[in-house]
A and B are shown apart, each in its own frame.
Chain A
Amino acid sequence: MMRRIQPYLFVLPVTLLAGVLIYYAIGFTAWASLTDWNGLTEMNFIGLGNYVELYRDPLFWTALRNTLMFLVATIAIQAGLGLLIAVIAKERLRGSNFFKAIFFLPIAMAPAIIATVFKYMLEANYGSVNEALRGLGIIEQSTVIQWLGADLGVWSIIMINVFQWMGFSMMIYYAALMSIPQDLYEAAEIDGAGWWRRLRSITIPSLRGTTSVLVILGIVGALKTFDIVWLTTGGGPGGSTHFLSTLLYEERSNRQAGYSSAIGMVILVIAFVLAMVQIRLANRDGSQR
């Protein structure tokens, strides 16, 4: 009898801690998104009212566009730079561990701190970036680039994220590169394949699975992104740099708990759908090889 129950006792803590809490939160969000709840008083069922309102809300579409733009740009830039550095590091140049350590360092640092440093660096009038550009004569003394404004804000946030997380892609590509059998390269070299040819025919195809994992983690990471937006632009000016997560948070503090839950459901659905599509694609690639 004990033998039969015991395994359940082993999985009980994580099930209670994570499973119950997270599923409860998802269920609650789904239900609240169908009500006019303000977070304090009672909840009245209003059907899909919040979703209709969401559909008509230009801020929602801005936030969705910013989130998706961020998702695509950060995944592409981080994978590209990460792969570049990993390929160079694999050549075992002197000092390559030192360089790897520099790029990996921001992962240990709090995004809240990094975001705050960037916020002051990118400040339009006295920020160091504009001052440096003026000092180098790249822009006029009187020019004020609004790095955290409506046009560039999302790109600045993308840049901050690349600073924070590029080392992650680098490290994962590096680990994957080290697991490619060395004799593949030796055989190719005997056949007269040059460095570029070896990169294209051996390295990149072998990394398909790794890239796929990075894309999934990038999707999850993008939907989670909150602090670097909240602490730099705060979604402003005029909501132009909101992400889904920050718009939700702001609506929640405006006592729109039902409405913000509908945004939460959109985030959950995007996470689920994109992850499914990616896993499907990855499996198809795998079976073709």
Chain B
Amino acid sequence: MSSRTSVGAKVAMYAVLIFLAALWLFPIGLAVYKSVQVGGWSNYNVVLNSDTFNYWQAIGNSFLMAGASSILIIIASSLAGFAFSKLKFRGRKLLYALLLGCLAVPVAAVVTPLFFSVNSVGLRDSYIGVIIPLAAFNSLMMLLIMKNHFDSVPDEILEAASLDGAGLYRTFVKIMLPLSGPTLATVGTLSFVYSWNEFLLPNLLLRSAEKFPVTQAISLLQFDRMSLEQISQLYAGLILMTIPSLIVYLVAQRYLQAGVTAGAVKS
């Protein structure tokens, strides 16, 4: 098809792409420029050595909460995805429908009970109190992706395993999981990125600055009346806090794209 595309059409297409790409790169380029506009590159040093804002702690907190919730999600969604796809049991369809029915429930709609219940079990302002709701709200999309994946694994593999006398758990761990590498990577990457980016749950449930993930730690770099230098330092901090996301993007872009499309193509 491309061979038939006329030169004029190609020029027009490039014009559209370049124009849009410029719009998309503008905020990113501007943030980099602003971060050194007043104070120069030393702004990065200032942010890294700030008294009120601890960069490595924020990164560590995000890493801990996103990592732990992703592990919970991988375990829960792969076990259930396998069962809903390959095992027969009473109430299977109903339970699956009830679970996926929650896919559209926004965290924002239920913040009041979430806060109240996390508070009443004494988990307010704790990592685990954020990790569990994070995993809960992100696990359903991942369940959908895992089930669709197991649907594509032929039933014969399962039958052969049960003829060999392998138990369900063994079949799952020794046969099903090794067949699921890319999907597990997809689910892991997507869960990690979504949890890392979450703002509302930590905002609702955390109070101490030393537990803040990056999305909350931004507030530690903002003050009421900011000088131009402080604004430049804020930009430097924002860029520093984006670096881990960029690394994930570069390393796992393939899985992120796969996850985004896997969740959407079949439902």
Contact = CB atoms under 8 A, between A and B. Distances in A.
Interface of A: 3-4, 6-8, 10-11, 13-15, 17-19, 21-26, 28-29, 32, 39, 81, 84-85, 88, 91-93, 96, 99, 101-114, 116-118, 120-121, 126, 128, 163, 168, 171-172, 175-176, 182, 185, 189, 195, 210, 213-214, 216-217, 219-220, 223-224, 226-227, 230-231, 244-245, 248-249, 252, 257, 260-261, 264-265, 267-268, 271-272, 275
At the interface, is chain B mostly helix, strand, loop or mixed? Answer: helix
B24 A275 contact: no
Contacts, number: 271
B106 A99 contact: no
Nearest to A252: B112
A15 B136 CA distance: 9
In the complex, which of the residues A22, A219, A231 has the most CB atoms of chain B within 10 Å of its own CB atom? A22
B200 A226 contact: yes
B42 interface: no
B1 to A, nearest CB: 6
A252 B112 CA distance: 7
27 contacts: A7-B89, A17-B76, A18-B143, A22-B110, A29-B113, A93-B10, A93-B13, A99-B17, A99-B20, A105-B24, A108-B249, A109-B245, A110-B241, A117-B27, A120-B231, A171-B261, A172-B261, A172-B265, A213-B265, A213-B267, A226-B108, A226-B199, A226-B200, A245-B109, A248-B108, A265-B109, A268-B110
Interface of A is mostly: helix
A128 B35 CA distance: 13
Interface stretch (B44-52, B97-105, B152-160): B97-105
A205 B209 CA distance: 52
Contacts of B13: 88, 91, 93
Contacts of A213: 264-265, 267
Interface of B: 1-2, 4-5, 9-10, 13-14, 16-17, 20-21, 24-25, 27-28, 30-31, 34, 72, 75-77, 79-80, 82-84, 87-89, 92, 95, 98-99, 102-117, 132-133, 135-137, 139-140, 143, 168-169, 172, 193, 196-197, 199-200, 203, 214-216, 218, 222, 228, 231, 234-235, 238, 241-242, 245-246, 248-249, 253, 256-257, 260-261, 264-265, 267
A22 B102 contact: yes
A176 B264 CA distance: 10
Contacts of B89: 4, 7-8
A60 B59 CA distance: 37
A175 B261 CA distance: 7
Given A14-B143, A172-B264, A84 B9 contact: no
B46 to A, nearest CB: 17
B246 A91 contact: no
Contacts of A93: 2, 10, 13-14, 17
Nearest to B214: A110
Contacts of A18: 76, 99, 102, 135-137, 139-140, 143
Contacts of A109: 197, 242, 245-246
Contacts of A245: 106, 108-109
A38 B35 CA distance: 43
Contacts of B214: 110, 112-113
A267 B109 CA distance: 6
A249 B105 contact: no
A117 B235 contact: yes
B234 A14 contact: no
B111 A17 contact: no
A4 B87 CA distance: 10
B264 A214 contact: yes
Contact of A13 (B25, B79, B112, B133): B79
Nearest to B103: A220
Given A108-B245, A117-B235, A213-B265, A32 B113 contact: yes
